[in-house]
């Protein structure tokens, strides 16, 4: 799989690596108290966790349907990352708050804040060199400081412009590629402090609650001090997959792999609850979002992405899908799979029956992964305003799906094998490796790529170390795949392939967002957008692509605000469902977690009780279990390969308690679930009890009332305990030496009832004694 190129890359949020009691929330229903509490509950987005006992002021951000209020001309989000380092102080073109197309965007994410040695959110020491809080730009039009604010820098300007554009929200983004496991000090040197890894997870893999609480408290204080509307977490990456993230962090991150997901979930829960309490006190809802990976490899090690319920929305980093971390030449951010991806073909993804021919290195696959657990409107797809590319490409069609292997890899990349990345004039926004040398990556702002396409050498090249009389070699012909929705530049003479975005591809992605009810788009980073400067005859920093999305979205229908695409029951039962016991790293294939069902009601669930749920079409419809619950897929919104996109969102699954096994109040039962590509938390659960179908409280659906099984909204009297079977009347099926039995399965054998402690076949009940697989439940 993908791997990082540079050890000090801070110019983007992602580069892929190798290889409460729920019932107490009342799920949005009116609690006793003032009418404003009822109003706030009615505005909560579908599936969003609500901090117990807190009247969260959702209506300050969301309408009565749970959709975000962004202004009459913003039906979908346009979220732009604004980076703190394009100050112009080093001679390169600046991108300041005055350059943001404020009328066209809905949210601005400032990149980046970091976690300091004390586990607090920071942007470094105050001072005139601090771009966030101290720097000024004398003489630059639009960059005049607001004297009413006690700080300067980017934060001053962001708040100055927000006064003019009050519908635009700003969030502080924390982490990013280089600052997930450390931070840059005031001298620009990277400090490997541990960052998210050590703040959220202890060395033994346990949750670092003290570190998390310190950080979350500091985050609340930070956004209130500097006028932000929320926090965006760019943790790269809380996955159990080895060697994922920044190579300099591997000694620390790899040792904690087994606990990173639990730490991540604890961090998000703490942030959500502290932000909710602060928001209730301040009368405004504070947002919590993440930048999430799109890589199937990374997501496989993130369990079922259980943090989704704490997030206002997720921004998918659906880019860096191909690049010079390996030899496979392909698009940076294709919308669809075409069935020809060379990297996937080499791994036999298309030939594997278990994978169902589903290619997972494209935006559509990543969107459907998250759609399995979230409303479309709480998801935003990522677009890159930068290129990726290779040189010396061999084979392929105009370079596409060709190969370009390098003889050596950048120092500090952590790689022993990598791709031959484009350099020089084809790598304007390059990083440097540990030895200070250019990292080959084909990384360019889109405005430079447009100039290459037109054969233009822009006057800015001297700011990047090139001569004013630089000449281009060969021609950069624009190519386009309508099946991938991906443009690229191909220089046949140099064998250079640069993956790009332009008006055609962005328009298609905007249509995709509109057609599927998706919340919107996120772009990394705004400084890569372009406009044509007719006076100079060249492309420069602009807002062409952002404006295109704004124009598309302003008349779109409201986004999809519900998780389910079917009518769901209005009454819910407090029955817990939890996926756990995931194997770590590469051992987690096929993906075989334990599904634990816990009856938190006061009523026993009879044997044969049927549960149904949805899981995402990001995995094929071949999920199963090995535990005797008859788990099967009963309907699918998509079958077959995903060439041209997945046609629907969900597979519907049925499972039943065995006929002989009731589930008493407070009791749990486990079964082994089995699937082959990553899915986010299965959703839209229903359970049928005595002929009535209920939702489950844990889905956090809007407008659902938690009840006891029965007809009313209040609890019903639980039935008496089930009498044990009389001796001589064994009710469990007879044990068979040829049958397979999963954990929790009961059988009868030699006038006793036995329960399997784990999966077994052929081992006779009683033969292993008290240490064997079978637990003796007594005579029957």
Q: What confidence tens digit (pLDDT) does each residue in 511-555 have?
A: 999 999 999 999 999 999 999 999 999 999 999 999 999 999 999
Question: With 70 as the cut, is the pLDDT of residue 37 above it?
Answer: no
pTM, 2 dp: 0.88
Tell me, yes or no, whether 679 and 745 share the same domain.
no
Tell me, yes or no, whether 576 and 648 share the same domain.
yes
Residues 6+ apart with CB under 8 A from 407: none
Radius of gyration of the chain (CA): 27
Instruction: Give the three-class secondary structure for 669.
Output: strand
pLDDT of residue 380: 98
Residues 241-260 as b/e (b if ≥16 CB within 10 A, e otherwise) read: bbbbbbbbbbebbbebbebb
pLDDT of residue 722: 35
Residue 373 lies in a domain: no
CATH of the domain at 767: 2.10.10.20
Q: Which domain holds residue 623?
A: 571-706
pLDDT of residue 770: 55
Residue 719, CA distances (Å) to 601, 665, 707, 709 in order = 11, 10, 16, 11
Alpha helices per DSSP H over 386-495 = 446-453
Which of 659, 682, 706 marks a domain boundary? 706
Tell me, yes or no, whether 586 and 687 share the same domain.
yes
pLDDT of residue 710: 84
CA separation for the pair 306, 262 (Å, rounded): 9
Residue 628 lies in a domain: yes
Using DSSP bridges, classify how beta strands 610-616 and 650-656 pair: parallel, antiparallel or unpaired.
Answer: antiparallel
CA separation for the pair 427, 466 (Å, rounded): 12
What is the token pair recorded at 725?
Answer: 């079977």
pLDDT of residue 711: 54
Instruction: Tell me the per-residue pLDDT of 423-432, one tens digit each, with 9 for 90 and over.
Output: 999 999 999 8
Which of 128-137, 586-595, 607-616 has the weakest average pLDDT? 586-595
Residue 527 lies in a domain: no
Closest CA to 260 of 378, 180, 171, 369: 180
CA separation for the pair 355, 360 (Å, rounded): 10
- Rounded average pLDDT over 283-290: 98
Tell me, yes or no, whether 756 and 634 share the same domain.
no
Instruction: Tell me the per-residue pLDDT of 666-698, one tens digit each, with 9 for 90 and over.
Output: 999 999 999 999 999 999 999 999 999 999 999
Alpha helices per DSSP H over 167-284 = 195-200, 209-226, 250-253, 257-282
Instruction: Tell me the per-residue pLDDT of 116-174, one tens digit each, with 9 for 90 and over.
Output: 999 999 999 999 999 999 999 999 999 999 999 999 999 999 999 999 999 999 999 99
pLDDT of residue 27: 33
Tell me, yes or no, whether 753 and 696 share the same domain.
no
Which of 653, 686, 706 marks a domain boundary? 706
Confidence band for 475, pLDDT divided at 50, 70 and 90: very high
Average pLDDT, the chain: 91
pLDDT of residue 664: 96
Instruction: Tell me the per-residue pLDDT of 184-237, one tens digit each, with 9 for 90 and over.
Output: 999 999 999 999 999 999 999 999 999 999 999 999 999 999 999 999 999 999
Tell me, yes or no, whether 667 and 775 share the same domain.
no
The number of domains in the chain is 2
Residue 513 lies in a domain: no
Residue 122 lies in a domain: no
Tell me, yes or no, whether 700 and 745 share the same domain.
no
Residue 756 lies in a domain: yes
Confidence band for 396, pLDDT divided at 50, 70 and 90: very high
Tell me, yes or no, whether 762 and 669 share the same domain.
no
Which of 653, 685, 706 marks a domain boundary? 706
Beta strands in 503-542 (DSSP E): 520-524, 530-533, 538-541
Burial of 758 (0-12, 13-18, 19+ CB in 10 A): exposed
Tracing tokens 């220089």 back to the chain, one arrives at 491
Residue 284 lies in a domain: no
pLDDT of residue 430: 94
Instruction: Tell me the per-residue pLDDT of 408-452, one tens digit each, with 9 for 90 and over.
Output: 988 888 888 999 999 999 999 999 888 889 999 999 999 999 999
Residues 6+ apart with CB under 8 A from 250: 243, 414
pLDDT of residue 435: 87
Residue 744 lies in a domain: yes
pLDDT of residue 573: 98
Tell me, yes or no, whether 627 and 577 share the same domain.
yes
Question: With 70 as the cut, is the pLDDT of residue 297 above it?
Answer: yes
Residues 6+ apart with CB under 8 A from 775: 754, 755, 756, 757
- Rounded average pLDDT over 19-26: 32
194 touches 262 (CB < 8 A):
no
Opening angle at CA 371, ends 369 and 373, nearest 5: 95
pLDDT of residue 252: 94
Residue 212, CA distances (Å) to 87, 156, 175, 306, 471 in order = 32, 28, 15, 17, 53
3-state SS of 576-625? EEEEECCCCHHHCCCECCEEEEEECCCCCECCCCEEEEEEECCCCCCCEE
CATH of the domain at 577: 2.60.40.290
Question: With 80 as the cut, is the pLDDT of residue 25 above it?
Answer: no
Instruction: Give the three-class secondary structure for 21.
Output: coil
Tell me, yes or no, whether 744 and 693 share the same domain.
no
Tell me, yes or no, whether 757 and 658 share the same domain.
no
């Amino acid at each position: 799989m993908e791997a990082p190129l540079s050890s000090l890359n801070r110019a983007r949020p992602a580069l892929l690596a190798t290889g409460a009691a729920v019932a107490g929330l009342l799920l949005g229903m009116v609690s006793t108290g003032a009418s404003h509490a009822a109003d706030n509950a009615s505005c909560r987005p579908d599936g969003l966790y609500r901090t117990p006992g807190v009247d969260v002021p959702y209506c300050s951000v969301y309408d009565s349907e749970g959709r975000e209020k962004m202004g009459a001309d913003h039906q979908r989000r346009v979220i732009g990352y604004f980076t703190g380092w394009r100050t112009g102080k080093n001679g390169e073109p600046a991108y300041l708050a005055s350059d943001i197309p404020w009328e066209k965007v809905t949210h601005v994410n400032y990149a980046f804040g970091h976690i300091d040695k004390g586990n607090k959110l920071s942007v470094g020491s105050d001072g005139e060199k601090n771009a966030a809080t101290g720097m000024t730009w004398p003489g630059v039009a639009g960059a005049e400081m607001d004297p009413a604010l006690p700080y300067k820098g980017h934060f001053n300007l962001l708040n100055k412009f927000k006064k003019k554009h009050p519908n635009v929200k700003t969030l502080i983004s924390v982490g990013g590629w280089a600052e997930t496991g450390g931070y840059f000090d005031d001298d620009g040197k990277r400090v490997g402090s541990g960052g998210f890894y050590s703040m959220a997870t202890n060395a033994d893999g346990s949750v670092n609650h003290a570190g998390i609480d310190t950080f979350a408290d500091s985050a609340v204080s930070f956004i209130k001090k500097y006028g932000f509307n929320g926090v965006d977490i760019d943790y790269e990456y809380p996955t159990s997959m080895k060697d994922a993230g920044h190579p300099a962090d591997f000694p620390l991150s790899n040792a904690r792999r087994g606990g990173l997901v639990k730490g991540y979930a604890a961090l998000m829960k703490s942030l959500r609850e502290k932000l909710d309490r602060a928001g209730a006190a301040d009368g405004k809802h504070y947002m919590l979002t993440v930048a999430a990976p799109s890589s199937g490899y990374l997501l496989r090690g993130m369990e079922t992405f259980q943090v989704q319920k704490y997030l206002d929305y997720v921004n998918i980093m659906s880019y860096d899908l191909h690049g010079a971390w390996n030899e496979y030449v392909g698009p940076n951010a294709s919308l669809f799979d075409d069935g020809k991806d060379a990297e996937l073909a080499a791994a036999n993804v298309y030939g594997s029956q278990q994978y169902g021919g589903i290619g997972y290195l494209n935006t559509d696959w990543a969107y459907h992964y998250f759609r399995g657990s979230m409303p479309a409107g709480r998801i935003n797809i990522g677009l890159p305003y930068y290129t990726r590319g290779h040189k010396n490409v061999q084979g392929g069609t105009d370079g596409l799906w060709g190969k370009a292997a390098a003889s050596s890899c950048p120092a500090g990349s952590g790689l022993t094998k990598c791709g031959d990345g484009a350099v020089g004039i084809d790598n304007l926004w390059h990083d440097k490796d540990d030895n200070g040398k250019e990292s080959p990556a084909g990384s360019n702002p889109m405005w430079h790529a447009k100039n290459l396409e037109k054969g233009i050498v822009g006057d800015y090249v001297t700011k990047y170390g090139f001569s004013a009389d630089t000449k281009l070699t060969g021609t950069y012909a624009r190519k386009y795949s309508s099946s991938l929705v991906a443009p690229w530049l191909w220089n046949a003479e140099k064998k250079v392939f640069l993956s790009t975005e332009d008006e055609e591809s962005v328009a298609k992605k905007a249509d995709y967002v509109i057609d599927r009810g998706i919340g919107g788009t996120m772009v990394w980073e705004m400084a890569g957008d372009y406009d044509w400067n007719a006076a100079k005859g060249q492309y420069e920093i602009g807002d062409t692509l952002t404006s295109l999305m704004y124009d598309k979205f302003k008349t779109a229908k409201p986004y999809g605000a519900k998780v389910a695409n079917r009518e769901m029951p209005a009454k819910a039962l407090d029955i817990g469902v939890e996926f756990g016991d995931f194997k770590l790293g590469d051992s987690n294939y096929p993906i075989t977690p334990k599904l634990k069902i816990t009856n938190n009601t006061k009523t026993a669930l009879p044997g044969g009780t049927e549960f149904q749920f949805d899981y995402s079409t990001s995995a094929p419809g071949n999920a199963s279990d090995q535990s005797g619950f008859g788990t099967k897929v009963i309907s699918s919104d998509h079958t077959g390969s995903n060439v041209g996109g997945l046609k629907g969102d969900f597979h519907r699954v049925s499972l039943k308690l065995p006929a002989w096994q009731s589930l008493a109040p407070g009791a749990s039962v486990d079964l082994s679930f089995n699937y082959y590509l990553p899915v986010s938390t299965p959703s839209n659960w229903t359970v049928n009890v005595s002929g009535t179908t209920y939702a489950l409280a844990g889905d956090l659906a809007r407008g659902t009332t938690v009840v006891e099984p029965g007809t009313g909204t209040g609890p019903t009297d639980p039935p008496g305990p089930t009498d044990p079977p009389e001796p001589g009347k064994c009710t469990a099926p007879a044990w068979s030496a040829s049958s397979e039995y999963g954990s929790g399965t009961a059988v009868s054998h030699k006038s006793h009832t036995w329960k399997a402690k784990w999966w077994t076949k052929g081992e006779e009940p009683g033969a292993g004694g008290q240490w064997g697989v079978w637990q003796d439940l007594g005579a029957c």
